[in-house]
C-alpha cells in the first residue's frame, strides 16, 4: 500500500482525492472552529474527523458524534481516549437523521461546525452506507443547528452502489440553498467532475 493509499484507507478510501478533500474540509473548519465552541460529526466512522474536531474545540468545547455502527463508535472511542480528548466528545449510537431529537435544544443555532463524510466505513460492512433520503433529512436538520458564521461540510462519493444518487441529491440540495442565508462552495476530486468525490461547503452568513 502506498502512502497515498494508506491515507485514503484511513480517511474514507472511496475514490481518488478523497483524502485531499477531507483535508480541505478540515482546513475550512479550522478557520472557524475555536476552543470553547460546539461541533457535530454526523458520520463518526473511525473517528478521524471527530478527533480533529475535538482538538479544535479544546477542553472547554464539546463535540457530538453520530454513527449507526457500534464497531465504528468503538474504534472512534479508542482513538479519542488514546488522544486524551474523550471527555469533550459525546458519541451517539444513532442515525444523523435523528439529530434534532438527540441534541440539547439550547445548542440550536449555536453549533459552529458540522461535518458529514458520507458513504461506507472502509474495512467494515459495506451494506451500512449513508443513503440519499436520510442524508438529506440530516443535512436539512443540521442547518437548524448551525450558528451564524458557522460552516457545514459534506463529502459525497459516487463510486459505490447508491453513491451517485446520493451525491446528485446533495448537489441539488446545495444548489437550492437560499443565497442570502448561505454561501455555498463546491470542490471536486481530481477525477473528472461528475465521477469522483465531491465536497460541499455551506457557510451560514452572519446575522445582520
Ligand atoms: C465514510 S464513513 C465516515 C468516516 C469518518 N469520517 C472517519 O474519519 O473515519 C461513513 C460513516 O457513516 C456511517 N453512517 C451510515 N449511515 C448513517 C446514518 N444514517 N447516520 C450516521 N452515520 C451513518 C457509517 O456507519 C460510516 O461509519
Q: What is the CATH number of the domain that holds 42?
A: 3.40.50.150
Residue 44 in contact with residue 78, Cβ under 8 Å?
A: no
Residue 55: all three cell numbers together: 482538538
Residue 76 in contact with residue 49, Cβ under 8 Å?
A: no
Look at residues 59, 7, 17 and name the one whose alpha carbon lies nearest to residue 157. Answer: 17
**pLDDT bracket for residue 125 (50, 70, 90):** low
Residue with cell 451494506: 127
Q: How many whole angstroms from 124 Cα to the centroid of ligand 1?
A: 11
Structural domain boundaries, residue 78: 3-180+188-204
pLDDT in tens, 81-112: 999 999 999 999 999 999 999 999 999 999 99
Predicted model pTM: 0.92
Look at residues 111, 65, 115, 114 and name the one whose alpha carbon lies nearest to residue 88. Answer: 65
* Structural domains of the chain, count: 1
* Whole-number average pLDDT of the chain: 90
Q: Whose CA is nearest to atom 23 of ligand 1?
A: 67
H or E element that contains 104:
none
pLDDT the model gives residue 208: 56
Mean pLDDT across the stretch 169-182? Answer: 97
Q: Tell me if 83 CB under 6 Å of ligand 1.
A: no
Q: How many whole angstroms from 71 Cα to the centroid of ligand 1?
A: 11
Residue 70 to residue 47: CA distance in whole angstroms = 12
Count H helices and E strands in the chain, helices first. Answer: 7, 7
Q: Tell me if 22 CB under 6 Å of ligand 1.
A: no
3-class SS of residue 154: strand
Q: Report the 10 Å Cβ neighbour count for 196.
A: 20
Q: Tell me if 96 CB under 6 Å of ligand 1.
A: yes
Amino acid at each position: 500500500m502506498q502512502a497515498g493509499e494508506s491515507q485514503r484507507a484511513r480517511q474514507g478510501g472511496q475514490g481518488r482525492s478523497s483524502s485531499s478533500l477531507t483535508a480541505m474540509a478540515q482546513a475550512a473548519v479550522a478557520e472557524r472552529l475555536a476552543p470553547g465552541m460546539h461541533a457535530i460529526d454526523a458520520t463518526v466512522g473511525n473517528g478521524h474527523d471527530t478527533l480533529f474536531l475535538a482538538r479544535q474545540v479544546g477542553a472547554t468545547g464539546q463535540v457530538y458524534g453520530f454513527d449507526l455502527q457500534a464497531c465504528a463508535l468503538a474504534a472512534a472511542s479508542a482513538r479519542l481516549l488514546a488522544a486524551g480528548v474523550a471527555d469533550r466528545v459525546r458519541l451517539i449510537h444513532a442515525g444523523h437523521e435523528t439529530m434534532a431529537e438527540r441534541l440539547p435544544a439550547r445548542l440550536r443555532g449555536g453549533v459552529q461546525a458540522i461535518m458529514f463524510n458520507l458513504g461506507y466505513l472502509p474495512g467494515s460492512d459495506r451494506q451500512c452506507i449513508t443513503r440519499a433520503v436520510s442524508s438529506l433529512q440530516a443535512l436539512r436538520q443540521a442547518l437548524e443547528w448551525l450558528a451564524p458564521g458557522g460552516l457545514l461540510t459534506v463529502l459525497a462519493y459516487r463510486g459505490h452502489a447508491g453513491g451517485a444518487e446520493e451525491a446528485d441529491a446533495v448537489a441539488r440540495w446545495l444548489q437550492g440553498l437560499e443565497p442570502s442565508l448561505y454561501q455555498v462552495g463546491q470542490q471536486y476530486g481530481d477525477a473528472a467532475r461528475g465521477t469522483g468525490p465531491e465536497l460541499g461547503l455551506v457557510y451560514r452568513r452572519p446575522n445582520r
